[in-house]
Structure 1
Amino acid sequence: MAWWGMAAAAAAMAVLAFAPGWLCLRLLRVRGLVALAAAPSVTMAVFAVAAVLYDDVGVRWTLPTALLAALAAALATAVLGWLVKDRSSLNGSRVRLEAPHLSTGELRPDAGPGESPRPGASVLTPGAAGPLPPARAAALPAARAGAVVAAVGLAILPLALGMRHLSAPLQSWDGIFHVNALALVRETGNASSLGGLAPMYPLHDANYYPAAWHALVSVAPGLSSVVVAANLSTLVLVVPWILGITALATVALPHRPRVSVLAPLFAATYIAFPVVTVTVQGQWPYGASVALLPGAAALVLAALRPGGARSLSLILAAAAATAGVALAHATSVFSLVVLVGPWIVFGAVQHERRRWRAGRRREVVRDGVLAAMGLAIVVVVLSQSSLFGSVVGFNRRYFGSHAAVFFNALRDKAAFGRYPASWVGNLPVAGFVIAGTVLTFRRREGRWLAGAWASFLLLWVIAGGSPPFLRWLAGPWWTEPSRLAALAIIPASLLAGLGADAALRAGAERAARLPASTSAARRAVPVGVVVLAIVASLAMGTRLGTKERIVASAYVPGRITYGTVLDADDAAVLARMPQTLPPDAVVLGDPAGGAAYAYAIGHRHVVFPQLTVAAIRSPDPREPHVFLAMHFNQLHQDARVCDAVRAVGATYFYQDTAGDAQGDKVSDTTLGLRNVDTSRGFELVDRSGTVSLYRITACG
């Protein structure tokens, strides 16, 4: 499908993602960049809740009913905004594309949520940047907008090059699951996270699965193919991701306006997100939660920061954005805690320190005891959760020693798959990140960003390093380093922007100290050197070729990292299924051999809509699905095979005779669906190359 021809569909999907949430935030009087960045999070909350309610009352999830839910949410928000009777201008929440204006007595650079501004105190620490000159302040909105556009383009380009075309199916375990889940939502009209995706599991035993992403993408207008819709969402998710980082930089470091210009550019250099998360891993719901996280965090900080207009409506807006991120993927609750938690902790510690020095030591001890009790309650509740226990206990392979994993984390080496890449990786950008980290402690500003980055790095290292050490801490992220790598980009981008901003400021100060007789060209050298260093780090870090190869390893047949699932032969047979098979056909076949895509592409039901049967939560080898996966090729020797075929309702068999030697994916869990003798008991329906489609006649 032509890329330019999909521009309207991409715009429509973006409008669907942004407009409902933006309208709700606007009615709560949240405006500017923060409202725009947090809008998709609120949209996710609206759609996720509405999908559950619609399922309860028997209403199908479609584009009209989704828009009706958005309208109802807007009306409810308008009423809520009127009820709270908060008519303040919310200057603290208006983070526009303009230079921030800070005056004495407002938020100090090192302030946290527990601190109050000191009357008459300057907001600027020694060495901090003062207000921008009027000309530069006027140019800041355009600079931010230009940086956002450039960063979005840098992030999208390798995705588009690697996909080759939007109709190319993603060939990863999670990717196949989610594309089929989109087809399921369209067929059933059920996008509820509470059982809506249960049919994706053979035993229909999944009571919860986050379906907010599926709810949004399944009703995106102008897209008949779920494959195209899913791939288009990969590109659209880049927009809230970059906007969110820009907004977070604006709120977290309002006295450093250049950081909000530099941070999105640095974010676009990383491979971990979106490249690895939403292509090789195909984790669209998790990827959506990551993309929405910085925008929601910006709104949370705007709502809770001291010195701002802390209003009930703003707090409600932050709660809605937080709910949207959590409903996109429950893991994001822990991600938000790790990201914003250091800001809360740093502020609380400083607040308690001042109380201790003021002689209010009993209050400090009381607060410490209450905090410890609260933490203990959380630990106990989580330890009793079977869902949390299964996630924490998820076993992953190791990626080397802790030191090796740490070095790979600094250079942004993809911790998933095998890709040729320079050992340098993103080390030039890491240099700016480290410089920004040092700066936060030397000048006592933004220390919580360093704490958040260090926390994600620590979790990353203990998740992937060997020997195991406190690995359970990374359990909420399935002990998967790549999931944590995506999150580490958020504080790292802001720190890199802070480091680059400090370097620019140092260059300008050096130029200012030159003798008055120095030529203009000579004065431009210090700043020019820093600008060249920033441009060089961005150019080296972007690594378009490496990113394109990684994306291609998930999309292009013959280049798939873990074996090709679907090639040209599969595509031909699948495309003809609506004509070759009756509407009530049920297709049995090796999902790793292409049969899984019979649902999303061939529009016919399949026995195994996932890439593996490991999701079948049945230890009984006689369970029909498990039995067929391992013994269907014994059809002519074992009468139990036909019993299992009838039990699952299979009427057609899909077989691809290509194997490891041809680069195809072969799964140990579905070996019984390969090497089937089709000389009798089967009637040929369609064939293309190594792929054949049969009607099963052996079982009556």
Structure 2
Amino acid sequence: MNLWFEALPAFLAALLVFTLPGAAVLAALHVRGIMLLLLAPAVSVSVVAVSAITAPLIGLAWGLPVVLLGTAVAAAGAWAAQRFIPALRPASAGRSGWSGLAAVAAGVLLSLAITTALLTLVAPTPEQFTQGYDSVFHLNATEYAVERGNASSFAVSGFILPPGKSLFYPGAWHGLASLLITLTGISVPAATNLVWLVVAGVVWPLSAIFLTRVLFGRRPLLLLCAGIFAAAFPAFPWLLLQYGSAYPNSLSNALVPVGIGLVLMILRPAVHTGLEPAQALAVVALFLPGAVTAQPNGVFSVLLVLTPLLLFMLFAWLRAGFAAGRRSGWLRAALLLVALAVAAGALLALPQIRSLFNYASLAFMPFPLAVLRNATMAPAPIWFPAVALSALVLAGVLAGRRRPGLGWLPAAVLLLVFMYPMTAGTDFGPANVMLAPWWDNPERIAALLPLLAVPLAALGMVSCTDWLGRRLPSLARRKGRPAAVAGLAVVLVLANPGLWQMKEQVGIMYNVPPAPDGLAQVDAQELALIHRLGEFTTPSDVIANNPYNGSALAMALAGRTMLFPYSSQAELTPDQFTLRFWLNRVDSDPEVCAAAKRLGVTHLLDFGTDYIPAFDHPRSLYPGVTLAPDSAGFTLVASDGHARLFKLTTCAGTPAK
């Protein structure tokens, strides 16, 4: 697949995967109108993720039939719930529910067009792949799911674990990408690009429009601007693509506005309308599985944005208790402390949660500068402020705080503004603890501000045009006003210099250099040899490698079994450990030879010592593999520049079979 146009059928297939399962379940729950459209992707992610987890438990291989079965079961459950729970049957479901559809469609299409244009500029073909540190894991995990017919969140990380061991890893992304591969037959890189494009160009704008509607109302011009501005900020979705290709976190972030809006509908139904509270609670139950299996920090992101409101409501609840009597007040305070202790204990009981506290990012810019850069939508590596867009966000804050029930919104914006400096501009220990759900990672935290910036920029745009219309009535009466506002919004998006700076940075991640440059996982010579592996090896062969030089990508790009398919493999089998340190002795040492035979090693892929920038001394981690090309046990069978493929020919003094 050399042209992006050739990817259109697969893109449409991905679009259907992201919409139809959720739409069927929501329709069964009697969610109607524009709400069904806006919520469908979030529920679809849950259906796909839960179906992937369930499939191996009932002996089914991963694929479309499993998703259809999962959709049917979820829809039947939703229908039964609304049938037997009266609160789930809203009193009114009139035809006006589709009001604003044209504005939503136009906003999403314009956002998709901008995102697609930028992606095609940085990736010449759909087969390109980003060369970030995490790319290897996500591409190989998707390949592993396809090979094994198992995309369960308890299985996708199995390729880096000892046989028989399982560990939960949020696998919704890999389930979606592997499903697209089974449906269309496209490559892992192409599927990864297309799923990212659907998430960034469709799911994220729909989620942003949903939150905008919940916060500020259903005015079509407002929804149109929200869709367009979803493509405006480099911090999301582009920063997570540029930084290590954090695909699961991108999916999670794209869903967070849905979670925020649903919680608001439950907590304050008189202010935030669209669904009845019981309906919103039911959709939350459908939303959570997808949120957790996309990336659990999305749940923490929802709570983070709503922290000012939740604190105010808890304070009001405690104050009401003390107003009724000291005993009642202290009882409520005790209940709150117990609830917090139980929640903290339950979370800390999970090793995945405890491990989050092992990470801390060192400050790399002054705290005031970090505040300024985040407030002006220019987190590193961007340095040019988005002046016009930041002004619109400020206008939105000023307009929004005057609306009933939104007094908490400015505090939420300030909280998100100061989150980035807490990791990028300080080494304060408690900050590292507070930011643990995001690994105290500046990029993941910077990606949170657009969650509120997009709705606020849309409100700011509409407020400014209304203000101008009141002073120039002739402009307000013109029929083409929505089109003019949309055109101006597109101009503001494209005029954001930070977006074009980010485009250059993402382009670096997609670049395949002609020779080793110290940044890319693989260069052109190495990639050429990977594409020729089918001439010299079979899928059943096991190829020894040092994962720190990019050779692990042969798993996803050539469908080959790699001895070490990822650099951060925490656990190795005894045989892997032996070969990691002593593979160079395979021609003379019977124990090393026996380990190679048990693991089925037949070849060695040598990409030299141009290691990815992950550790200071990666050479020492795999000395046996690094020295093996010079041993008598391997014979050169193919090369492309400095990239070489060897065959194991001598094992403990005898010819290898």
2:554 to 563, 576, 598: 598
Residue equivalent to 1:152: 112
Residue equivalent to 1:106: none
Residue equivalent to 1:674: 626
Q: Mapping of 1:571-586 within 5 angstroms?
A: 571-586=527-542
Residue equivalent to 1:457: 417
Q: 1:634 to 1:232 in 2, by over 3 A?
A: same
Q: 1:696 to 1:462 in 2, by over 3 A?
A: same
User: What CA deviation, in whole Å up to 9, does each residue of 1:513-554 have, x standing for no partner?
Assistant: xxxxxxx58999xx9999998666433326453232122121
Question: Is 1:654 aligned to residue 605 of structure 2?
Answer: yes
Q: Mapping of 1:296-311 within 5 angstroms?
A: 296-307=259-270, 310=276
Q: 1:680 to 1:503 in 2, by over 3 A?
A: same
Conservation of the 8 A alpha-carbon contact between 1:20 and 1:70: yes
SS of 2:186 mapped into structure 1: coil
SS of 1:165 mapped into structure 2: coil
Residue equivalent to 1:615: 569
Q: Residue 234 of structure 1: CA displacement?
A: 1.0
User: What CA deviation, in whole Å up to 9, does each residue of 1:283-322 have, x standing for no partner?
Assistant: 1122111112223433443454323563544421222113
Question: Is 1:555 aligned to residue 510 of structure 2?
Answer: yes
Residue equivalent to 1:42: 43
2:452 to 482, 491, 496: 491
Residue equivalent to 2:436: 475
Q: 1:664 to 1:491 in 2, by over 3 A?
A: closer
C-alpha distance in 1, partners of 2:196/2:562?
26
Conservation of the 8 A alpha-carbon contact between 2:322 and 2:328: no
Q: Residue 250 of structure 1: CA displacement?
A: 0.6
Relative to the length of structure 1, the TM-score reads: 0.82
Conservation of the 8 A alpha-carbon contact between 1:159 and 1:547: no
SS of 2:605 mapped into structure 1: strand
Q: Which is worse superposed, 638-647 or 586-595?
A: 638-647
Conservation of the 8 A alpha-carbon contact between 2:159 and 2:565: no
1:237 to 199, 202, 205: 199
C-alpha distance in 1, partners of 2:310/2:553?
46
Q: 1:623 to 1:28 in 2, by over 3 A?
A: same
User: What CA deviation, in whole Å up to 9, does each residue of 1:30-50 have, x standing for no partner?
Assistant: 123332222122122222222
SS of 1:398 mapped into structure 2: coil
Higher helix share: 2
Q: Residue 497 of structure 1: CA displacement?
A: 2.2
User: What CA deviation, in whole Å up to 9, does each residue of 1:39-96 have, x standing for no partner?
Assistant: 1221222222222222223221122222222223223322332222457446599994
Relative to the length of structure 2, the TM-score reads: 0.87
SS of 1:272 mapped into structure 2: coil
C-alpha distance in 2, partners of 1:350/1:664?
51
| Amino acid corresponding to residue 204 of structure 2 in structure 1 | W
Conservation of the 8 A alpha-carbon contact between 1:286 and 1:328: yes
Q: 1:340 to 1:324 in 2, by over 3 A?
A: farther
SS of 1:59 mapped into structure 2: coil
Residue equivalent to 2:169: 209
C-alpha distance in 2, partners of 1:510/1:591?
64
Q: Mapping of 1:274-313 within 5 angstroms?
A: 274-307=237-270, 310=276, 312-313=278-279
C-alpha distance in 2, partners of 1:379/1:94?
45
- Percent identity over paired residues: 26
Q: Alignment length, in residue pairs? A: 637
C-alpha distance in 2, partners of 1:553/1:197?
28
1:331 to 268, 282, 297: 297
Q: Residue 555 of structure 1: CA displacement?
A: 1.3
Conservation of the 8 A alpha-carbon contact between 1:44 and 1:324: yes
Q: Mapping of 1:129-208 within 5 angstroms?
A: 141-201=101-161, 205-208=165-168
SS of 1:173 mapped into structure 2: coil
C-alpha distance in 2, partners of 1:396/1:605?
34
Q: Residue 467 of structure 1: CA displacement?
A: 3.2
Q: Which is worse superposed, 242-251 or 270-279?
A: 270-279
SS of 2:377 mapped into structure 1: coil
Q: Residue 396 of structure 1: CA displacement?
A: 2.5
| Amino acid corresponding to residue 431 of structure 1 in structure 2 | A
SS of 2:645 mapped into structure 1: strand
1:270 to 233, 246, 262: 233
C-alpha distance in 1, partners of 2:541/2:631?
21
| Amino acid corresponding to residue 681 of structure 1 in structure 2 | G
User: What CA deviation, in whole Å up to 9, does each residue of 1:148-198 have, x standing for no partner?
Assistant: 221222223212211111111321221111111111111111111123422
SS of 1:252 mapped into structure 2: helix
SS of 1:424 mapped into structure 2: coil
Q: Mapping of 1:354-503 within 5 angstroms?
A: 355=320, 366-415=331-380, 423-441=383-401, 446-470=406-430, 471-503=432-464
C-alpha distance in 2, partners of 1:427/1:279?
22
Q: 1:426 to 1:578 in 2, by over 3 A?
A: same
Q: 1:522 to 1:552 in 2, by over 3 A?
A: closer
Q: Mapping of 1:30-69 within 5 angstroms?
A: 30-69=31-70
Conservation of the 8 A alpha-carbon contact between 1:95 and 1:250: no
Conservation of the 8 A alpha-carbon contact between 2:42 and 2:287: yes
Residue equivalent to 2:638: 686
Residue equivalent to 2:211: 248
C-alpha distance in 2, partners of 1:336/1:93?
30
Unaligned runs of 5+ in 1: 99-139, 513-519
C-alpha distance in 2, partners of 1:405/1:658?
36
SS of 1:487 mapped into structure 2: coil
Conservation of the 8 A alpha-carbon contact between 2:170 and 2:292: no
Taking only aligned residues, the RMSD between alpha carbons, in angstroms, comes to 3.5
User: What CA deviation, in whole Å up to 9, does each residue of 1:200-235 have, x standing for no partner?
Assistant: 335765511111221122111213311211111111
Q: Residue 476 of structure 1: CA displacement?
A: 0.6
Q: 1:178 to 1:352 in 2, by over 3 A?
A: same
Residue equivalent to 1:696: 648
Conservation of the 8 A alpha-carbon contact between 2:241 and 2:247: yes
Q: Residue 360 of structure 1: CA displacement?
A: 7.3
Conservation of the 8 A alpha-carbon contact between 1:202 and 1:625: no
C-alpha distance in 2, partners of 1:444/1:437?
13
Conservation of the 8 A alpha-carbon contact between 2:362 and 2:426: no
Q: Residue 444 of structure 1: CA displacement?
A: 5.5
C-alpha distance in 2, partners of 1:351/1:624?
60
Report which structure shows greater RCO (CA 8 Å, sep ≥6): 1
SS of 2:435 mapped into structure 1: helix
Q: Which is worse superposed, 433-442 or 462-471?
A: 433-442
Question: Is 1:540 aligned to residue 500 of structure 2?
Answer: no
Conservation of the 8 A alpha-carbon contact between 1:158 and 1:544: no
Question: Is 1:565 aligned to residue 521 of structure 2?
Answer: yes
C-alpha distance in 1, partners of 2:316/2:292?
29
Conservation of the 8 A alpha-carbon contact between 2:585 and 2:631: no
Conservation of the 8 A alpha-carbon contact between 1:172 and 1:281: yes
C-alpha distance in 1, partners of 2:94/2:336?
28
Q: 1:72 to 1:365 in 2, by over 3 A?
A: same
User: What CA deviation, in whole Å up to 9, does each residue of 1:476-532 have, x standing for no partner?
Assistant: 1111011112122111212222333332233233346xxxxxxx58999xx999999
C-alpha distance in 2, partners of 1:531/1:180?
41
